[in-house]
Structure 1
Amino acid sequence: MIDKKYVLPPVDFGSALVRDAFAIERLRGDLGTGTTPVETLVELHALFRVVMSVISARIEGNHTTVYDALSQLGPVDAGEESPTDSLHEIMNILDGIDFIDSIDAAQPITHVLIRELHRIAVSDLSREGDRTPGEYRSNEVSISDSAHAPPSHVYVHAEMSALLDFANREMPTHEQMIHVAIAHHRFVWIHPFTNGNGRVSRLFTYAMLRRNGFDSIPGYRAVNPTAVFGNDRDGYYAALEAADDLSGTGTLAWCEFFVHGLRQDLERLVRMQDFDFVTRELLSPAIDALRASGGLTLEEASALQIAAVTGVVKAADLAPALPGTPSQRSVAIRGLLGRGLLTADERGPRFYRTALSRGPLAPFIVRRLDALGYLPRMLEHDGE
């Protein structure tokens, strides 16, 4: 017998939901066709990973700003203080994203994967930890500010088995986003863990998007549903609650919220394919702002502008900005590398790129993303 929770409700072909679903397919077809170099997209993806991890934690009440996260994330040196619980929560979410990205996207989503994502998400946390990391709950739970009563712990494994069967189902392309939306809600509805369900549900949904084709285009792993939820936290919870009765009407309302938000996020992402837009509206203004703050000399700013516009440079390419002998230029480049303003490219030790995801420039890029409307409302004006 088919569980009615996993039957796609009838959808009016002329509805906004269908229009958004087809728009997503059109946008997906546009991915990978632009002029922005893959290396730049990969760097921006690394920056978006941090932003999405902050959003996922913020939804749960974590108040760490994206700027604090960018300045503090990284390995802890011997003798340094351990990261705060709030920062550690964000680091765990990043680890969860990395774990998903390390797996073949075609691999089925299993109980083992879900429990491992939970173990990663709650590892070594106090406020947002769990007494049994990586284990389904063995107790009854309630959800704060929600009328929904999750299933008894006795049924959790069976409920998750049904959900995973649904999540791994092959779906027609035009139904894939509705499929992902329903799976996300049903995960939250089951509430399989004592704590950490929200964070794991968003990682689970990211894994489902990868299975549905968003892992095959280099540089576009930034397609992450967390942006949808962070853009309207109250709307997110209200839409989830509307589907808690498992009715077709409530499920469609939730799907409309999710699919429309994903379409908006994809439209912004596709805009990043236009390298002229990226350099003119994002990278160059960020470099100018860093220089205006006193973080760069005129020569250093010029060098970063050349690297940003060129994508990958060698020392000779920076000669117009860094005049002098090759030896003097090498010293200047080593200084830019040491300060995290340039980064070595994969092509070899003498190829360089402007560092976008970490270092002094990253917060200024985030501010430009905010000014351009790329940050979910949850993070708007985070640096004020």
Structure 2
Amino acid sequence: MIEEINKKKLRLDELRPLSRETVKSIRESILLEWTYNSNAIEGNTLTLLETKVVLEGITIGGKSIREHLEVVNHKEAILYLEEVIRKEEPFNEWQIKNIHHLVLKGINDKYAGNYRDQQVMISGAEHIPPAPFLLKEKMNEFINWYNTEAQSLHPIERAAMVHIIFVGIHPFVDGNGRTSRLLLNLELMKNGYPPIVIKNLNRLEYYSALDIAHTTGDNSKFISLVLKESDDMLNRYLSLLNNNR
């Protein structure tokens, strides 16, 4: 699959630069789907259509302030990723905390951008994240791994591993899932790949693959899931661009 993805990525690169209209159309569509699905995985009850309306600045009757904020915050976090990529900023803890702060802003300001000070459990998972006093050490190890060993991995595999390691550490009280998927896509986008959308419909497969990675050290199922989603998104991009031509 990596060989096929590499070929499709090369074809996409050959079609660049994309027209402004095409970029705008694709960006708006993916931003909506990414925001809807990432929030839905965490229990947000807004539909895709309702999410679209909230992104346009309209409130939905009967829905909580938190659910509205989760949509608006996620959009702001994506805009921040785009800024990080434009400025070619290096991956670091400050960047991770900024992303998380945007995710939880106005929802839980005490913990937005701050590491947890209590033990947490991952709902439905066997894996138990490290104790709070170990977080600084674990995050340092994570960043060091990224700057050394991770650089020899294929960009998609590296993106998948960023997600696996980060969510295994679970450094925040809340918002780890959304932040991990933002970090995954940040890595893909840095390397010229389209962001992927992990669909709410596939959340059981997604959670299962993550728990297997954390409890057995077998990362293959999760990496395969990310490869499949990357392949699907490349197909989508290429199909749209070929139609436009």
TM-score by length of 1: 0.57
| Distance (whole Å) between structure 1 residues aligned to residue 188 and residue 220 of structure 2 | 19
- What do you get for the CA RMSD once the two structures are aligned? 2.4
Aligned residue identity for 2:211: E
Q: CA deviation at 1:33?
A: 3.9
Which residue of the other structure, out of 224, 230, 233, is the alignment partner of 1:262? Answer: 230
- Aligned match of 2:76: 95
| Distance (whole Å) between structure 2 residues aligned to residue 140 and residue 52 of structure 1 | 29
- Aligned match of 2:163: 184
Indicate conservation of the 8 Å contact 2:37/2:198, yes or no: no
Write out aligned runs for 1:65-84 (5 A): 65-75=47-57, 84=65
Aligned CA distance change for structure 1 residues 213 and 40 (closer, same or farther; 3 Å) = closer
| Distance (whole Å) between structure 2 residues aligned to residue 195 and residue 255 of structure 1 | 24
CA deviation digits over 1:55-89, x for unaligned, max 9? 11001010111211222324579xxxx98321210
Which residue of the other structure, out of 268, 271, 275, is the alignment partner of 2:243? Answer: 275
Indicate conservation of the 8 Å contact 2:163/2:181, yes or no: yes
- Aligned match of 2:4: 23
Can you give the 5+ residue segments of structure 2 that lack an aligned partner in the other structure? none
TM-score by length of 2: 0.88
Aligned CA distance change for structure 1 residues 130 and 171 (closer, same or farther; 3 Å) = same
Which residue of the other structure, out of 187, 190, 215, is the alignment partner of 1:245? Answer: 215
| Distance (whole Å) between structure 2 residues aligned to residue 71 and residue 99 of structure 1 | 21
CA deviation digits over 1:348-376, x for unaligned, max 9? xxxxxxxxxxxxxxxxxxxxxxxxxxxxx
Which residue of the other structure, out of 116, 124, 129, is the alignment partner of 1:145? Answer: 124
Aligned residue identity for 1:207: L
Can you give the 5+ residue segments of structure 1 that lack an aligned partner in the other structure? 1-19, 215-222, 278-384
| Distance (whole Å) between structure 1 residues aligned to residue 36 and residue 28 of structure 2 | 13
- Aligned match of 1:208: 187
| Distance (whole Å) between structure 2 residues aligned to residue 90 and residue 168 of structure 1 | 32
Q: CA deviation at 1:204?
A: 1.1
Aligned CA distance change for structure 1 residues 175 and 241 (closer, same or farther; 3 Å) = same
Write out aligned runs for 1:26-41 (5 A): 26-34=7-15, 37-41=19-23
- Aligned match of 1:134: 113
Name the structure where helix makes up a greater proportion of residues.
2
* Number of aligned residues: 239
CA deviation digits over 1:15-59, x for unaligned, max 9? xxxxx1222211111114449733223233123212211111001
| Distance (whole Å) between structure 1 residues aligned to residue 201 and residue 151 of structure 2 | 27
Write out aligned runs for 1:1-384 (5 A): 20-34=1-15, 37-75=19-57, 84-104=65-85, 106-125=88-107, 129=108, 131-169=110-148, 171-172=151-152, 175-214=154-193, 223-225=194-196, 227-230=197-200, 232-247=202-217, 250-276=218-244
Which is greater in Rg? 1
Q: CA deviation at 1:257?
A: 2.0
Indicate conservation of the 8 Å contact 2:54/2:71, yes or no: no
- Aligned match of 1:17: none
Aligned CA distance change for structure 1 residues 46 and 164 (closer, same or farther; 3 Å) = same
Q: CA deviation at 1:213?
A: 2.9
| Distance (whole Å) between structure 1 residues aligned to residue 4 and residue 226 of structure 2 | 14
Q: CA deviation at 1:274?
A: 1.6
